[in-house]
Amino acid sequence: MKKTRKIIAVAISAIMAVSTLALPLSAQAVTDTADSTATATEKAASDFSWDNASVYFLLTDRFKNGNTSNDHSYNRGLNADGTVATDYTTDVAMFHGGDFAGITQTIKDGYFNDLGINALWISAPYEQSHGYAVGDTKGESDSKKSFPHYAYHGYYVLDYSETDANFGTPEEFQTMVDTAHEYGLRIVLDVVMNHSGYNNMYDMNEYGYGTLKSGWESVYYDWANITNPTYHAKINYNSTLASWANWWGSDWVRAGIVGYTPGGSDNLTTCLDYLPDFKTESETAVDIPALLKTKWTKEGVLKEKTDELNQWFEETGNPRTTRYYQVYWLSQWVRDYGVDGFRCDTAKHVELESWKALKTECVKALKEWKAENKDKALDDTEFWMVGENWDTTQTLNYNDYFTEGGFDSMINFAYGGGKGLPNVTNINATYQKYADFINTKEDCNFLTYISSHDDKLCRTDLIYQGSALMLMPGQIQVFYGDETNRPVQKVSVNGKNYTIGDHAFRSDMNWDAIDTTVEDHWQTVGTFRNNHIAVGAGSNTAVDTTNGTAFIRQYDKDGVQDTVAACLAADANTDVTIHLGSAFDEGSLVKNAYNGSVAKVTDGTVTFNSGANKTILIEAYDGTELTGIIGDVNMDNTINMLDVILIQQHLAKIISLTDYNFTLADTNKDNKITLVDYVLIQRYIAKLPNTPNVGDTIKLI
């Protein structure tokens, strides 16, 4: 749902729907009708910090198709005769068409700004294996369990130095990065140093490595009947050493191929899921892999690519090992395009020295890019690197990944698996634990998620989970569709429907079926987080509340001071009194950023209504002129029977209208509320004449 936007993400407070029941009115709360947008001053709490990052993780191929002309790059999804394979956009592991152009369009639409996102983590953009390997449905009873598995996810690298044409051109990638920066968004790339893509029949034929048996095409293009045994039966795995040397080469990777070192049994040398394992630990000097020499020769760029590599190795003095080839290729995405960070896949399967070398070169590269592109650089924030060390039993730990590997953050797996963050009874204890650990260290953070591409989707109570995640201390990751209730889907394989592990979590973005109730909520809480560094980087203090669970976050560092409070999971549409202590000055005005209402701090407390989504987000009132509509007693920007009922309750001494609510109920301005006011508002609603003042806007502050 679109909202007013500014290029650099600013707060946009959604006006909540009013209940159809007459409810007790907070005597202090009024609505800031002049401007419900919370603004921030320069170098204020809303300025970007990785310590308060809100990272949106998307798979480029599954997000949005902005350029259909690239959908069949490298003949992907095409039959042998060039016709389009049936259901190529819905079959589980085909390329579905998402690209850089689609991301750029979404940025320009203000979608990420509306959500309070300040960094985009996109799947690896570099060139992937052209052909497909074979996937299996694993455990499904149907006999046809296999399906074509392309590298749509970005984890099967072919050439680090080029964009994958299915995702777009280098120019389209640059446009995406530049547009993101214009809209205040950082770009984080998923990168893999651990492994390459599988050998596959299409690439073997295209680049002349290994040996294919006669008739391989009839098997490869038989989409509906492909199986692992029939596929691999057309590959001669006992062919000569020379033929397989034309692939990556045994000095580059481990693999279960003749002439190659097989994978080991430890994390650093295993061939994960049988993928070729790069020898990043090797100190042996290596040449450019034969596969890339063949590829670059066909493309007419071998000399250019070789000269660039030679120049870098000469300038840096780094050894020509597998590790440093990868460091060069990956750091060039930073140096050439201004990429802001990396998410490092399979971090525990690569030695820390390699990650440290990558981080060091990328920090240098981003500084160089910013110095040469001052008109594009957002600020002087350094390169950021977060690692994936898969461990669902993970505890907070300041370990070697931070001290030796150069990582700024590690992914937090504690709330994945579909379970989400703890319920309201335990959420404050969780917040306290993370704030106490993370926000007392300069060089340590954790990126928390509730859904991911290989760890199930959390789809239970997305209103509460949205609040719980967006208000989590440290850094948070939104997986595309968390905010729109993108469903887990059975997916088509050869015309049949299955639920297939990770692929089921990677369905196309549900643009045509967005759950706007969930989306609006995530936008509001996400914007609040983005406006306040205290949310992610501040101290946490649990406080008393008459309903739900409440806490205060406070930040005071580098000249920036920020204080906020919040209440989660209160009963719906209930007036909630929150004990703020001395966090906000006595008598000062504070604002509920969730609905724009304003209240006065009295005796260290404040009262707001929880609304339909049971959420209160408290920030200092920014002093914007406050107005109200005479007759709009409950300050919901409409005059209706709810206002009449409130006056009726006041006259019956069931409630007591005070302050601004009293002012707006006193239609004839005689400093008292009588039946005259009651009747005048009723006449206004009935569109009868002679209702002086009712409907007029007046200044309250």
Q: Which residues are catalytic?
A: 345, 388
Per-residue DSSP letter, 38 = P
Pairing of strands 253-254, 277-278: antiparallel
DSSP 462-500: HHHHHHHHHT-SSEEEEETTGGGTPPP--EEETTEEE--
Q: How far apart are CA 593 and CA 63, in angstroms?
A: 30
Chain centroid to Cα 540, Å, comes to 23
- Residue 511 contacts residue 64 (beta carbons within 8 Å): yes
- Residue 522 contacts residue 114 (beta carbons within 8 Å): no
Pairing of strands 589-592, 597-600: antiparallel
Q: How far apart are CA 474 and CA 529, in angstroms?
A: 11
- Residue 584 contacts residue 620 (beta carbons within 8 Å): yes
Residue 532: name the closest of 464, 448, 606, 618 by CA.
Answer: 618
Dihedral (C-alpha) 585, 38, 566, 386: value to the nearest 10 degrees?
-120
Longest CA pairwise span in the chain (Å): 101
Residue 167, classified by CB atoms within 10 Å of its CB into exposed (0-12), middle (13-18) or buried (19+), is buried
Residue 282: name the closest of 317, 328, 326 by CA.
Answer: 326
Q: How far apart are CA 345 and CA 440, in angstroms?
A: 27
Q: How far apart are CA 124 and CA 343, in angstroms?
A: 9
Per-residue DSSP letter, 628 = E
Residue 277, classified by CB atoms within 10 Å of its CB into exposed (0-12), middle (13-18) or buried (19+), is buried
What helix, strand, coil percent values describe the chain, rounded to 5? 30, 20, 50
Q: Which residues partner with 277 through β-bridges?
A: 195, 254
Q: How far apart are CA 231 and CA 226, in angstroms?
A: 7
DSSP 413-474: -TTTTTT-S--HHHHHHHHHHHHHHHTT-SS--EEE-S--TTS----S-HHHHHHHHHT-SS
- Residue 378 contacts residue 157 (beta carbons within 8 Å): no
CB atoms under 10 Å from CB of 162, counted, come to 18
517: CB partners within 8 A, 6+ apart: 463
626: CB partners within 8 A, 6+ apart: 30, 32, 33, 34, 598, 660, 699, 700, 701
Per-residue DSSP letter, 671 = S
